[in-house]
Homo-oligomer: A and B are copies of this chain.
Amino acid sequence: MYRSHTCGELRESHINNTVTLSGWVQKSRDKGFMIWIDLRDRYGITQLIFDEERTASDLMEKAKMLGREFVIQVTGTVIERTSKNPKISTGNIEILVSDLEILNESLTPPFTIEDETDGGDDIRMKYRYLDIRRNPVRENLIFRHKVTMAVRNYLSEKEFVEVETPYLIKSTPEGARDFVVPSRMNEGQFYALPQSPQTFKQLLMVGGMDKYFQIVKCFRDEDLRADRQPEFTQIDCEMAFVEQEDILNTFEGLTRHIIKEIKGVEIGEFPRMTYDEAMQRYGNDKPDIRFGMEFGELNEVAKHKEFGVFNNAELVVGIAVPGGNSYSRKEIDKLIDWIKRPQVGALGMVYVRCNEDGSYKSSVDKFYDQDDLAKWAEVTGAKAGDLICVLSGDTLKVRTQLSALRMELAERLGLRKTDEFAPLWVVDFPLLEWDEDTERYHAMHHPFTSPKPEQIELLKTKPGEVKANAYDIVLNGNEIGGGSIRIHDKETQAMMFDYLGFTPEEAKAQFGFLMDAFQYGAPPHGGIAFGLDRLVSILGGQETIRDFIAFPKNNSGRDVMIDAPAPIDDTQLKELCLKLDLKA
């Protein structure tokens, strides 16, 4: 038995007990006649004491040799501490050690095992097993576990069944790129790793499972942007005999439960907003509604003068920045530089200072008078002391730019509070989106999403205007989940594949099994998938998913700790009937 208690467990009530603890040497203070050691395990820290008067001299000597991160086992007596430490749960006691065994030594770790470490990202990833010893990382992983347990228990309670779907499936060239797995037993053929269990969960609905969920790894071989992982985890859900309303209510319930259970925060009914409204009010289909700064469209009150920039723009739109009138000219110039960066891409910005005396001072005073500017203030909701920022141009572009500015300013103003949770539903997404590169429509959600039934006719004439029974759940400006009511009949599904540019042969080869299934009594069904990594990081008050993944990969898709991927043996390649065909 390596321990009678953990390092987080002992209290004053244990005084005089003989106990055995095991753990890591967090730090050691050697005063010569007395040595204190902080012993650490997952559960806490307990102070050990060795003292000339009460400790055998060979034990003193042994204690002096202990270095940081040595693994030791000690036996001793719990005694009251003279100088108590109220910051830790065991701070009232310490252990007078009578026996010490070194279970394992340690080299000096390459960075400090402290909450605030001196290790950079790269070294922490290479020695991730040491990084995990640090409280913040370990607590993130425990937090993630708590979230998944809350999800599983809630959904099980509601009669959802977790069903494991296969990982070795079939590649479908449509959508994102698949990771593929050569099959040795089926020469020249490949499995693919699932980008999501989408078709399988639909087949489970056809199979009458009624309510399905799964917390499951998914894979996408994409060029990695910051904070994307080639493998990621979804809370994947599907229900039969449901309309959109049923899905929204069920998963609003789940989300509310998680926030209550994990964060202790009660949330009322989630607001709902159409995609069109979200774009109009926030320039974004995942608006952060923890703060205002809503868009004010200024076309009617800004296009009547001689200002060509506005007159030629499709959309003139502004936001009121609270207290922004205090910005110096230099600060405003820097803001203008910021929105002109290629990542945002605005051509310029018009601004209006709302003075405390009710007057206005704008960068376009040449064209607009006080009455005009008062109207702008009214539309954007600007009050005395605010700054109105106005952009103009093509609707979609200018909305995206102003949304970026809104988020940036909110960040700077401290309006994105990590302990505040503002979920909402965005509904009525467009069914299709135009892709400039391929010059055809793509499914905005995926090809299994059903168009609004009353708009099916519109598909023939104005496909871009057709809305889908598709919805996203948004939390604090992040899409944490999305889903749709699915197509459940073969004809509509075939028609959709046709619109998306599949030949009937391609559709049959890739999704024949699903369309076959639809012919044998498929029920109406729909679902949703949450991105677990993102959800957990937002609930944890952070925005980097990597901090909530035990062994993440870097931006080149490498695990730098185990050094993967790596070359494989020629015999392995031969067995798989493959040859390397390197470009270089």
Minimum CB distance partner of A574 in chain B:
B581
Within 8 Å CB of A569, what residues of B? Answer: 173
Within 8 Å CB of A226, what residues of B? Answer: none
Whether A566 contacts B170 by the Cβ 8 Å rule is: yes
Which of A131, A233, A512, A517 has the most B CB atoms < 10 Å from its CB? A517
In the bound complex, CA of A245 to CA of B1 (Å): 8
Whether A41 contacts B210 by the Cβ 8 Å rule is: yes
Closest Cβ of chain B to A403, distance in Å, is 30
Does A168 reach chain B (CB closer than 8 Å)?
yes
Minimum CB distance partner of A68 in chain B:
B521
Whether B561 contacts A513 by the Cβ 8 Å rule is: yes
Whether B231 contacts A167 by the Cβ 8 Å rule is: yes
Within 8 Å CB of A161, what residues of B? Answer: 141-142, 145
Closest Cβ of chain B to A472, distance in Å, is 23
Q: How many copies does the complex hold?
A: 2
Binds B, one of A91-99, A181-189, A449-457: A181-189
Q: With A513-B561, A565-B170, A567-B188 in contact, do A524 and B2 touch (Cβ < 8 Å)?
A: yes
Within 8 Å CB of A132, what residues of B? Answer: 204, 207-209
Whether A524 contacts B106 by the Cβ 8 Å rule is: no
Binds B, one of A28-36, A416-424, A547-555: A547-555
Whether A206 contacts B141 by the Cβ 8 Å rule is: no
Closest Cβ of chain B to A485, distance in Å, is 11
Whether B2 contacts A241 by the Cβ 8 Å rule is: yes
Whether A223 contacts B148 by the Cβ 8 Å rule is: no
Whether B188 contacts A513 by the Cβ 8 Å rule is: no
Within 8 Å CB of A178, what residues of B? Answer: 572
Whether B553 contacts A168 by the Cβ 8 Å rule is: yes
Contact of A181 among B179, B207, B223 (CB under 8 A): B179
Minimum CB distance partner of A488 in chain B:
B104
Within 8 Å CB of A564, what residues of B? Answer: 168-170, 191-192
Within 8 Å CB of A156, what residues of B? Answer: 145, 149
Whether B568 contacts A171 by the Cβ 8 Å rule is: yes
Closest Cβ of chain B to A514, distance in Å, is 9
Within 8 Å CB of A553, what residues of B? Answer: 166, 168
In the bound complex, CA of A583 to CA of B184 (Å): 12
Q: How large is the interface on A (under 10, 10 to 19, 20 to 34, 35 or more residues)?
A: 35 or more
Minimum CB distance partner of A149 in chain B:
B156
Closest Cβ of chain B to A579, distance in Å, is 4
Does A375 reach chain B (CB closer than 8 Å)?
no
In the bound complex, CA of A440 to CA of B488 (Å): 58
Whether B513 contacts A2 by the Cβ 8 Å rule is: no
Interface residues of A in 225-249 (CB under 8 A from B): 230-231, 233, 241-243, 245-246
Within 8 Å CB of A41, what residues of B? Answer: 208, 210, 241
Closest Cβ of chain B to A580, distance in Å, is 5
Closest Cβ of chain B to A136, distance in Å, is 13
Closest Cβ of chain B to A414, distance in Å, is 33
Interface residues of A in 109-151 (CB under 8 A from B): 109, 127-133, 138, 141-142, 144-145, 148-149
In the bound complex, CA of A582 to CA of B579 (Å): 10
Whether B580 contacts A523 by the Cβ 8 Å rule is: no
Whether B104 contacts A489 by the Cβ 8 Å rule is: yes
Closest Cβ of chain B to A73, distance in Å, is 8
Minimum CB distance partner of A108 in chain B:
B520
Q: With A520-B109, A562-B513 in contact, do A180 and B579 touch (Cβ < 8 Å)?
A: no
Contact of A141 among B70, B163, B549 (CB under 8 A): B163
Whether B103 contacts A524 by the Cβ 8 Å rule is: yes
Interface residues of A in 318-334 (CB under 8 A from B): none
Whether B550 contacts A104 by the Cβ 8 Å rule is: no
Within 8 Å CB of A204, what residues of B? Answer: 129, 132, 550
Write 10 A-B pairs (CB below 8 A) sorted by A numbering: A1-B245, A40-B208, A70-B521, A129-B517, A132-B209, A163-B550, A167-B193, A170-B566, A185-B223, A579-B579
A residues touching B (Cβ–Cβ < 8 Å)? 1-3, 22, 24, 40-43, 69-71, 103-107, 109, 127-133, 138, 141-142, 144-145, 148-149, 152-153, 156, 161-171, 173, 177-193, 199-200, 203-204, 206-211, 217, 219, 221, 223-224, 230-231, 233, 241-243, 245-246, 488-489, 512-513, 517-524, 549-551, 553, 556-559, 561-569, 572-584
Kindly list the 5 A-B residue pairs having the minimum CB-CB distance in the complex, ordered from nearest.
A132-B207, A106-B521, A170-B564, A189-B565, A2-B241
7 other A-B residue contacts (CB within 8 Å) besides A71-B521, A189-B565 = A103-B523, A104-B524, A141-B163, A189-B567, A577-B583, A578-B579, A578-B581
